[in-house]
Each structure stands twice: as structure tokens, then as C-alpha cells.
């Protein structure tokens, strides 16, 4: 059983999202460190994206693009001279040490956002999301969001299988036709999968628009641990904002 309830994990997601968009520099590094500690302690399932090689390739690409965005003789940042330059014909391609700063900022912000969504939402089941919105008297919306959350992983797998199928059949030799087939197949499979979920819920006599009463109250209750977590997150946010220049 998880230590925190749906409100705690939802609050963590909102907290990480807001701070990831407002902090920079070493404060952003502190935010990533706090998110990693939270994931190791209470949401290890949300750390799965960090085990994927493609995710780290994306992060490394963001860092590498920083020094390469300046073309010409002028420096990327005013008052900072380039460390070296590679002559390219009549002009020059300046690679600046200062350019690493925006690259690291982009990579850090992407990492912080990924952890904020992954650590918080991975701990919420469909029933948790439904109960949370039922508690807010928003019946039906929780079911729709819960289905959408679980559809992400399925959509990723369907996209991979569709791409591999088109590739094995030589579809990449005609990129425009392959793109059209990929989009049509992915869209149709997604709609069919959504219909299957709704049909399965209907067979089990589940009505997303019906009030669930005591069940929703019990599952969507605000735990004391959630209050402690939200207070700790608020204190961390204030300290980081005060320390920011």
C-alpha cells in the first residue's frame, strides 16, 4: 500500500511542473535531486523512463545543441568570447563554452518535467483518478482521464509495432505513403482500443457518470500523509524561489 493518496501524488505532479517551468540554474538541479529522492523512496515505478537509452539520447542531444546554435563570428552570449572556432569557408562556426548553459537548462527542464509527471501519475491507478474527480463532483471526467493516462503506454507500443511493420514491408521507400499509412493505422487502432475499454466497462455495469457515493469518498479521501507531503513541498518551493536570483 502506498504511503500517500491520490491527492499527494497529484500535488507532487503540480509542484514539480510549476517549479520546472520557473526555476533555472542550480535551483533546477536541486529540484531534479529532490524529485529523484522522492522517486527512490516512494515512487520507483516512475523512474522507468530513466532506464531507457532513447531518453538519455534526447537529454544528451539537448545539451549538445547548446554550443552549436551560434553561427558566425559573434558570441552567443554578449560579453563572452568563444573558446574556439572551426573555420567553415567564408564564415566560421563558433562553438562557445557559454552555449552549454542553455543546453544544460533545456536538458534539466526536460528531466524535471519528465520526473514530475512520471513520479506522480505512475502512482495513480484509473480508480484513483476516478475517485479523485468524483470527490470533486466531476463524474465522468475522472474515467476519461484515467483511460487517457493508461493509453499512453499502449499508444507507444502500437506506434512501434506499426512502424516496424511498415519498415519490414519496404514502406520507407515511399515516405509520404508510409507516413499516411502510419497515421491512419495508429488512429484507427487507438479509436478501436478506446471502444474496447468502454465496452469492457459497460459489460461490467460500470457507469462513469454515476455517483459512487461512499466508495468514491473512501478512495478519494485526503490522507494525513498527503497534508504532510504538500506542506513539505510548499516549504521547498518557497526556499527555492527565495534563493533564486
Compute the distance between CA of residue 76 and CA of residue 82 in angstroms, rounded to an integer: 8
- Domain assignment present for residue 27? The answer is yes
Residues 24 and 48 in one domain: yes
Task: Look at the block and give the residue holding cell 552570449.
Answer: 77
All three cell numbers of 226, joined, read 498527503
Q: Indicate the number of domains in the chain.
A: 2
Q: Residue 41: which residues within 8 A CB-CB, separation 6 or more?
A: none
Q: Residue 139: which residues within 8 A CB-CB, separation 6 or more?
A: 133, 208, 209, 210, 211
Higher pLDDT, 223 or 169: 169
pLDDT of residue 81: 43
What does the pLDDT look like over 28-75, one tens digit per residue? 999 999 999 999 998 888 888 888 887 888 888 877 776 665 444 444
Compute the distance between CA of residue 219 and CA of residue 85 in angstroms, rounded to an integer: 61
Compute the distance between CA of residue 8 and CA of residue 19 in angstroms, rounded to an integer: 16
Residues 24 and 116 in one domain: yes
Per the rule left: phi > 0, alpha: psi between -120 and 50, beta: everything else, 25 is left
The parent domain of residue 35 ranges over 1-124+222-245
All three cell numbers of 93, joined, read 562556426
pTM > 0.85: yes or no: no
Q: Where are the beta strands (DSSP E) in 152-206?
A: none
Residues 118 and 228 in one domain: yes
Task: Look at the block and give the residue holding cell 479509436.
Answer: 191
Residues 48 and 119 in one domain: yes
pLDDT classification of 79: cutoffs 50, 70, 90: very low
Residues 93 and 193 in one domain: no
What does the pLDDT look like over 91-147, one tens digit per residue? 444 445 555 777 788 889 989 999 998 888 777 777 777 777 777 777 777 777 777
- Domain assignment present for residue 134? The answer is no
Residue 3 has pLDDT above 60, yes or no: yes
Residues 111 and 231 in one domain: yes
Compute the distance between CA of residue 158 and CA of residue 164 in angstroms, rounded to an integer: 10
Task: Look at the block and give the residue holding cell 462513469.
Answer: 208
Amino acid at each position: 500500500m502506498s504511503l500517500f493518496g491520490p491527492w499527494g501524488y497529484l500535488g507532487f505532479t503540480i509542484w514539480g511542473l510549476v517549479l520546472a517551468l520557473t526555476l533555472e540554474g542550480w535551483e533546477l538541479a536541486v529540484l531534479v535531486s529532490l524529485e529523484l529522492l522522492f522517486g527512490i523512496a516512494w515512487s520507483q515505478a516512475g523512474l522507468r523512463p530513466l532506464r531507457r537509452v532513447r531518453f538519455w539520447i534526447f537529454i544528451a542531444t539537448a545539451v549538445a545543441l547548446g554550443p552549436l546554435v551560434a553561427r558566425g563570428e559573434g558570441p552567443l552570449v554578449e560579453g563572452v568570447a568563444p573558446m574556439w572556432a572551426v573555420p567553415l569557408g567564408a564564415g566560421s562556426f563558433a562553438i562557445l563554452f557559454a552555449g552549454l548553459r542553455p543546453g544544460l537548462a533545456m536538458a534539466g527542464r526536460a528531466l524535471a518535467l519528465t520526473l514530475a509527471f512520471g513520479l506522480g501519475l505512475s502512482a495513480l491507478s484509473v480508480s484513483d483518478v476516478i475517485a479523485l474527480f468524483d470527490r470533486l463532483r466531476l463524474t465522468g471526467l475522472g474515467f476519461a482521464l484515467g483511460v487517457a493516462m493508461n493509453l499512453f503506454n499502449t499508444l507507444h507500443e502500437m506506434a512501434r509495432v506499426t512502424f516496424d511493420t511498415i519498415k519490414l514491408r519496404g514502406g520507407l521507400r515511399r515516405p509520404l505513403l508510409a507516413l499516411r499509412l502510419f497515421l491512419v493505422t495508429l488512429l484507427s487502432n487507438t479509436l478501436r482500443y478506446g471502444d474496447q475499454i468502454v465496452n469492457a466497462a459497460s459489460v461490467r455495469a460500470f457507469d462513469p457518470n454515476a455517483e459512487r457515493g461512499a466508495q468514491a469518498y473512501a478512495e478519494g479521501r485526503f490522507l494525513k500523509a498527503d497534508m504532510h507531503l504538500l506542506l513539505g513541498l510548499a516549504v521547498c518551493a518557497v526556499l527555492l524561489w527565495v534563493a533564486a536570483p
